[in-house]
Amino acid sequence: MSLMIPEKFQHFLRGPNTNINGRQKIVFAITAVKVVRWRYAHVVSRKADIDLAKWAGELTEDEVEL
């Protein structure tokens, strides 16, 4: 079994004063921002209708802007 990486996968996303690792699940990747913790990242992801099972590198440009 091999890992299938999407064509537009981003290994690093630029966030507010930080780089976000694209190889982590979205909830844990958002916690790279200094004041964001797991609980807040979970709530923000749910409110933005982002699938919690997604990798951060799979986000589209529109989802990143939210």
What local confidence, expressed as pLDDT, does residue 5 receive? 66
Residues near 55 by beta carbon (within 8 Å), at least 6 away in sequence? 9, 22, 23, 24, 25, 26, 29
Helices (H), 1-66: 26-30, 38-47, 61-65
Q: What is residue 62's predicted lDDT score, i.e. its pLDDT?
A: 80
pLDDT at residue 43 in the model: 95
- pLDDT of res. 4: 67
Summarised one tens digit per residue, pLDDT across range 18-66 is: 888 888 898 998 888 888 899 999 999 999 899 999 888 888 878 777 6
Class for the domain spanning 12-65: mainly alpha
- Count how many Cα atoms sit within 13 Å of the Cα of residue 15 in the half-sphere of its side chain: 23
- Domain residue ranges in the chain: 12-65
Please, which pLDDT band fits residue 3 given cuts at 50, 70 and 90?
A: low
